[in-house]
Amino acid sequence: MLKTLESLGDLRGKRVIVRADLNVPLDGETITDDGRIRAALPTLTRLVDAGARVVVVSHLGRPKGAPEDRYSLRPVVARLGELLGQEVAFANDTVGESAREVVSALEDGRVAVLENLRFNAGETAKDESERTAFARELAELGDAFVSDGFGVVHRKQASVYELAQLLPAAAGELVGREVEALRKVTDTPERPFVVILGGSKVSDKLGVIDTLLTKADRILIGGGMAFTFLKAKGWEIGTSLLDGDQLETVRGYIAQAESAGVELVLPVDAVVAPAFAADSPATTVAADAMPVDQMGLDIGPESAKLFAEKIADAATVFWNGPMGVFEFEAFAGGTRAVAEALAEAPGYTVVGGGDSAAAVRTLGFEESKFSHISTGGGASLELIEGKALPGITILEEDDK
């Protein structure tokens, strides 16, 4: 059982450090998808209403332990302020003079954001003592800690793990919902339970396939990883993505699914093109008749129809990974069809973060059409795999 906000008691006037995940995509200083900011709002709003002095910390991008203008959280602050309906203060460092001044000036019910955590090498250091030293500096700025950045709970990082050891700590609303939704999928799925996997590489999904191959009723395979499955069946895949090292593993999955009575559904057609480009001429071919000089960039319309039929009667659906290169309109059809099928499905539908969540928003779907959209790609996969996530285990009740 996760420690909840209630376990922290009365927070009025208390400085509460919230580890959020505000790692949003930027085009210059323009936010192209504010989904993660909006996902942080329930916890932040609740703390504001409780009269806490809220200190938000997050990373953005992958700076190398030193400040870089392109990774500044400044653009995020403006959008967060719009969504919260209040001016949000910003510190131009994380544990330095600016941070101390901004935090000390906070009033009850107000919010501040500190600069990118990863501008400090201690945040992601492999050495535990370095992480702890940085976490101690962060802890001086707060009276309590709330972990609400689900996208990083699978990492032992200073603001995720060590900080939770130094202050009274609890899970935020988002982390609580994520854990509940994903454990519902793996522990108590209603049936039929359908899993849809896409993305580029089989190797990225090995743990998920291993886990769900014994739990799912149907597994639908799309995206670039589908071509490794087709190749494992002995079919021509042209210049499509191939995870060659995993061919034997995939053949084992095909055999295991058959022996376990799990329906493994592969594409029956594909949208191919001579090059990986938005304007590359697209044609549709049967999955067993791919030209040697073409690459598959999406599942075809017959596959999309087949996948939709396999989703229609599902009581539980877990989807991770797009069906094609959805960023290019000519190759977005398969991903759009799967998203539509999930949106219309009567069962419990979970979109497993990462590119799948981005696709849902990019293609214009109402998020309310899905039971849960995860904010963490890697974290959601590891939780589905049954791994112990450091940022979750540190928040569990001692008597669990």
Give catalytic status of residue 354 as yes or no: yes
pLDDT band at 129 (very low <50, low <70, confident <90, very high): very high
User: Would you say the CATH fold of 189-385 matches that of 5-176?
Assistant: yes
Residue tagged active-site, from 177, 201, 361, 369: 201
Give catalytic status of residue 81 as yes or no: no
Residue tagged active-site, from 15, 19, 36, 215: 36
What is 189-385's CATH number? 3.40.50.1260
Whether 297 and 331 have beta carbons less than 8 Å apart is answered as yes
Tokens (6 digits) for 306: 């087949």
Alpha helices in the chain (DSSP H): 35-49, 74-84, 97-104, 128-139, 163-166, 173-187, 206-212, 226-232, 247-260, 301-312, 333-344, 354-362, 377-384, 390-393
Percentage helix, strand, coil for the chain under 3-state DSSP, each rounded to 5: 45, 15, 40
pLDDT band at 400 (very low <50, low <70, confident <90, very high): very low
The per-residue pLDDT for 378 is 87
Where exactly are the structural domains of the chain? Answer: 5-176, 189-385
Q: How far apart are CA 231 and CA 224, in angstroms?
A: 12
The per-residue pLDDT for 201 is 87
The per-residue pLDDT for 386 is 87
Neighbours of 31 (CB within 10 A): 18
**Which CATH code, of 3.40.50.1260, 3.20.20.100, 3.40.50.2300, 3.40.50.300, is assigned to 5-176?**
3.40.50.1260
- Which residue ranges are tagged as binding site? 21-23, 36, 59-62, 118, 155, 205, 296, 327, 353-356
Give catalytic status of residue 305 as yes or no: no
3-state secondary structure 29-88: CEECCCHHHHHHHHHHHHHHHCCCEEEEECCCCCCCCCCCHHHCCHHHHHHHHHHHCCCC
The per-residue pLDDT for 397 is 84
For residue 399, pLDDT beyond 80: no
- Which residue ranges are tagged as binding site for ATP? 205, 296, 327, 353-356
- For the CA atoms of 3, 385, 24, 27, what is the dihedral angle to 10 degrees? 180
Q: Give 172-193 pLDDT, tens digit per residue.
A: 999 999 999 999 998 989 999 9
Q: What are phi and psi for residue 2, nearest 5 degrees?
A: -75, 145
Give catalytic status of residue 122 as yes or no: no
Lowest mean pLDDT among 4-8, 15-19, 212-216, 353-357: 353-357
The per-residue pLDDT for 354 is 77
Percent of the chain clearing pLDDT 90 (strictly above): 90
Residues 45-60 have a mean pLDDT of 98
**pTM of the complete model:** 0.90
Q: Give 248-280 pLDDT, tens digit per residue.
A: 999 999 999 999 999 999 999 999 999 999 999
For residue 371, pLDDT beyond 90: yes
